[in-house]
Amino acid sequence: MTRAEYKRRRPSGTFYVFGSQVAMLRIAKLCKTLATVPPRKLFDLLSLDVTAGECVAIIGESGVGKSTLLNCISGLEPVSSGSIRVGDTELAGLGDDALSRLRRDRFGFVFQAFHVLPHLTLLQNVAVPLWLQGRHGAEAARCAQDMLERVGLGKRAGDWPANLSGGELQRVAIARALVHQPAVVLADEPTGNLDPARAMDVLDLLLTSIRKGRAAGVLVTHSRAAAQRADRVFELRQDGLVQVMASAQ
């Protein structure tokens, strides 16, 4: 996409351009030391750029810090030093309210455990991010219905989560993560609770949705097969973030 095309699509967005690439998420020299005895360095000078419409996968041993990295990217956990930028917004220095607004408006989340709200219909679940932005009524319902159609659950909009399979629940969660057109989508083990066949369907849906939505996607997974569906694959190790596969597509 050219810079001019990008401006037309996201007129209020600000971005970084590397060649023809647009970095929607830019992590630079990130350090995180845990206040344990002795202190433990989780990341040291970790850097990663993710462009709009790109999905990178992060694999790594249990306990190496993958979930903590996602939490830092969304401002849920403080970092020791370094920079995280979403579009033109630098997270460092933002207060709790500003970080909450940033998460509400610019992030979408998909978790291993789905976290679909049991007392809301599928349509209502998908509409929640819009409601949080103060968008109620027919327009929110129409957007939520549209997202449910895209994940193949349009006809189930009035149904309840208790009636859905794990794969279907994760589809609802994907619709909810994308409905407000976030700049960044973070997915932590999104297929961890699904059987292998269902997992690949759901993963492909997630990646397609991220690419179509022109979000920057970061997918954490234990599955190398899942990771290979992403555009680039990194391994988080104790000595840093190492690219282990380029552009699988």
Q: Where on the chain is the footprint of Mg ion (CB under 5 A)?
A: 67
Q: Which of 17, 28, 34, 117 binds ligand ATP (CB under 6 A)?
A: 34
Does position 62 interact with ligand ATP (CB under 6 A)? The reply is yes
- The CB-of-100 to Mg ion minimum distance in angstroms stands at 22
How far apart are alpha carbons 113 and 166 in whole angstroms? 9
Count of residues near ligand ATP by CB under 6 A = 11
* 3-class secondary structure per residue, 48-114: EEEECCCEEEEECCCCCCHHHHHHHHCCCCCCCEEEEEECCEECCCCCHHHHHHHHHHHEEEEECCC
Residue nearest Mg ion by beta-carbon distance: 67
Does position 64 interact with ligand ATP (CB under 6 A)? The reply is yes
Cβ closest to Mg ion, residue 53 vs residue 65: 65
The helix (run of H) or strand (run of E) holding residue 130 is helix 122-132
Cβ closest to ligand ATP, residue 66 vs residue 176: 66
Q: Which of 21, 67, 121, 193 binds ligand ATP (CB under 6 A)?
A: 67
Does position 117 interact with ligand ATP (CB under 6 A)? The reply is no
And the tokens for 211? 């690419």
Cβ closest to Mg ion, residue 127 vs residue 187: 187
78 CB-near residues (< 8 Å, 6+ apart): 72
- The CB-of-100 to ligand ATP minimum distance in angstroms stands at 20
Q: Which residues of 54-70 are buried (b: 16+ CB within 10 A; e: fewer)?
A: bbbbbbbeeebbbbbbb
Residue 191, CB half-sphere, CA atoms under 13 Å: how many? 24
Contact range with ligand ATP by CB under 6 A, out of 65-73, 86-94, 95-103, 237-245: 65-73
Pairing of strands 40-51, 21-34: antiparallel
Cβ closest to ligand ATP, residue 60 vs residue 129: 60
Does position 65 interact with ligand ATP (CB under 6 A)? The reply is yes
Q: Which of 9, 45, 63, 165 binds ligand ATP (CB under 6 A)?
A: 63
- The CB-of-49 to Mg ion minimum distance in angstroms stands at 22
Give me the phi and psi of 92, to 5 degrees please. Answer: -60, 130
Does position 66 interact with ligand ATP (CB under 6 A)? The reply is yes
How far apart are alpha carbons 144 and 156 in whole angstroms? 12
- The CB-of-188 to Mg ion minimum distance in angstroms stands at 6
Interface residue list for ligand ATP (CB under 6 A): 34, 36, 42, 60, 62-68
